[in-house]
Amino acid sequence: MSHRVERFSSTLKHCLADILINEINNPKLKTVVIAEVITAHDLKKAKIFVAATGGDVDEIIMHLTKAKGFIKRALAKRMYLKYVPELVFLKDETIE
């Protein structure tokens, strides 16, 4: 992975964490842990691996998918991107 993609993934991870903590009002999404963000080389698709400290991970992924539009708008405001990457939320298997 190139240095540019790594920096973008790291910035995306921090922005997502900040959005989930400060801007999302759904209490079920307050227990989300973003384990890793993997971004495609063209920066148009991002796989976000999530885990939960409490609750069902599959239910949390469903809520995150429903809030995807809100999250993408918040990312566009924070990161000043030409294209906001398509967000794909996946269950992190490494924590188990």
For the stretch 82-92, pLDDT in tens is 889 999 999 98
Q: What percent of the chain has pLDDT over 70?
A: 97
Pick the CATH number of 3-91 from 3.30.450.20, 3.30.300.20, 3.20.20.60, 3.20.20.140: 3.30.300.20
Average pLDDT over all residues of the chain: 89
Q: Calculate mean pLDDT across residues 28-43.
A: 89
Half-sphere exposure of residue 73: CA atoms within 13 angstroms, side-chain side: 5
Burial class, 1, CB count within 10 angstroms (exposed 0-12 / middle 13-18 / buried 19+): exposed
Query: For the segment 56-81, what is each residue's pLDDT rounded down to a tens digit?
Result: 888 999 999 999 999 999 999 888 88
